[in-house]
Amino acid sequence: MSKDIFLTNSYGNKKEKFIPLDPKNIGMYVCGPTVYDDPHIGNARPLVIFDILFKILKLKYKDSSVIYVRNITDVDDKIITSSKEKKISISELTNKITNNFHQDCKYLFCEKPTQEPKATENIELMIKMISDLISKGFAYQKNKHVYFEVKKFEDYGKLSNKELDQLIAGSRVEISENKKSPEDFVLWKPSNNDEPHWPSPWGNGRPGWHLECSVMSKKYLNDEFDIHGGGRDLIFPHHENEIAQSRCANNTKSFAKYWLHNGFITMSKEKMAKSQGNILKIKDFKHKVSGQVLRFALINAHYRQPLDWNDELIKNCQNTLDKWYSVYTKVNNLNVLPDEILEPLFDDLNTPGYISKLHELYSLAIKGGHAEKELFNKACNFIGLLLEDNEKWRSYKKTNIKISEKEILNKINERNSARKNKNFELADKIRDELFDSGILIEDKNDTTLWKYK
């Protein structure tokens, strides 16, 4: 694989050639879910985007050379609040949501990451990093809280490309009399008796959210690594704080070399968020459409751009995959695809450009033989499409049909009678009604055949 990879680095906001720190040991860390509620479509976008990047890196540098770490945040204020609202224990809540998250990943045809650490499994390492930051003069303790002193880190704000005053003005900063300055962020906080807590030099408590990712990335990828990814909403304060505490604790000039951030999912141009009341959960689509439809929809726009989610998008993706399944063939030998096909993906994960290539390959496959069909299917398989056989694909459509087979046959008999009586207007009306119900009919000689469209 001779093709170079180019990525748009949020740190500097420019497209750069990807040059790994060590080609035999490539590290990618992506912020995973906080398991307080079931994942929504907005959460699904980074799952699919970084799954594709994982595939590209493995193709270029071999499977064994790439480590993909995606964490599970299972201790957080949102989790505590959610468990109280649902009146279940925190462990019951986090286990349930983590399991649902894994099912959603499987539904979206995402590969498992190399490592999936949980925050609660790494508390000792978090306490050690906090202690290191205090001893080096970057953090301070007050009233059983520990805070990172932002003004001690000169490069704070470089990822966001904003001055400190601008960052504070544009965000919700926690106000506390324990802080030296409003911008300082928490590394450790005390817990009530009914909340998760661990013993520490500063009393029983729990870690701050930002610290968790710094510790888990260090554990599996060392002090410096290649790629850090997540949604655009994580740039500030989460990723900005990760950089500050990691570089200060580890005495390094960098943390992640490349920062990638995907754009928001919107509905009617409004960001999808609980506060907007427009959340669509991944589980809401199961048993309605194949996860491939959602996956296809999520890569229809470039990952850095916003993606407006609507019924028309889903319908178009469903129809395109319907068409592509007409040349489905199972591919057993996934040989390397030609560079000219993969070129858009190597150019900053240009999935719309790759989809255009797939349309071209489909046109060749529909006219060609087995070789053309196999190449098209390989190209689809590479980004997680056409992975179900035709029978499984059709089963989703059958599930969505609201009309029974008995009703279909009655409609066909009624139509045949109308045709016999030369009432073609009624015959056409019945055909249209069946079509709207998801049924295609075809007249052959004296027989009418039907199938799910």
Architecture of domain 6-266: 3-Layer(aba) Sandwich (3.40)
Residues 140, 144, 147, CA angle at the centre, nearest 5°? 30
How much is the pLDDT for 374?
94
- The mean per-residue pLDDT over the stretch 164-190 comes to 83
Q: Are 56 and 34 in contact (CB under 8 A)?
A: no
Question: Is the C-alpha dihedral spanning 130, 186, 33, 197 positive or negative?
Answer: positive
> Radius of gyration (Cα) for the chain, nearest Å?
26
How much is the pLDDT for 170?
58
Q: Which residue has the tokens 């470039």?
A: 302
pLDDT in tens, 139-151: 999 999 999 999 9
The domain ranges of the chain are 6-266, 287-397, 401-452
pLDDT in tens, 106-162: 999 999 999 999 999 999 999 999 999 999 999 999 999 999 999 999 999 999 998
pLDDT in tens, 340-394: 999 999 999 999 999 999 999 999 999 999 999 999 999 999 999 999 998 888 8
DSSP string, 370-431: HHHHHHHHHHHHHTT-S-S-HHHHHHHHHHH--S-HHHHHHHHHHHHHHHHTT-HHHHHHHH
What's the pTM? 0.88
Q: Are 313 and 297 in contact (CB under 8 A)?
A: yes
How much is the pLDDT for 274?
67
Q: Are 416 and 88 in contact (CB under 8 A)?
A: no
Instruction: Judge if the upstream peptide bond of residue 237 is cis by omega within 30 degrees of 0.
Output: yes
Q: How confident is residue 269, by pLDDT bands cut at 50, 70 and 90?
A: confident
Q: Which residue has the tokens 């998250």?
A: 101
How much is the pLDDT for 169?
62
Residues 425, 431, 433, CA angle at the centre, nearest 5°? 100
Distance CA 342, CA 53 (A): 12
